[in-house]
Amino acid sequence: MIVGLMGAFMVVAAFSAECRNPILIYGAIEKAFLLYLVLTNLNRPYAQGFWAAAIDATAVCSFIC
């Protein structure tokens, strides 16, 4: 759900300049939350499926800084 909303918001941001900053902030929060989920659940067996999201979130957060 979160990733789907981010995709829809990115489409909106492409056509609306005044919406870009709030959407970028939302995207940063969403990626940071995904990274938090992975790091707090490393000892659980189902966390292995989160690694792709963690790599993506790390890349995005490093480009923002």
* Three-state SS sequence of the chain: CHHHHHHHHHHHHHHCHHHHHHHHHHHHHHHHHHHHHHHHCCCCHHHHHHHHHHHHHHHHHHHHC
pTM of the model: 0.61
Gap between the Cα atoms of 13 and 40, Å rounded: 31
**pLDDT tens, residue by residue, 5-52:** 778 888 888 898 898 888 888 888 877 887 787 778 778 777 676 776
pLDDT value for 43: 81
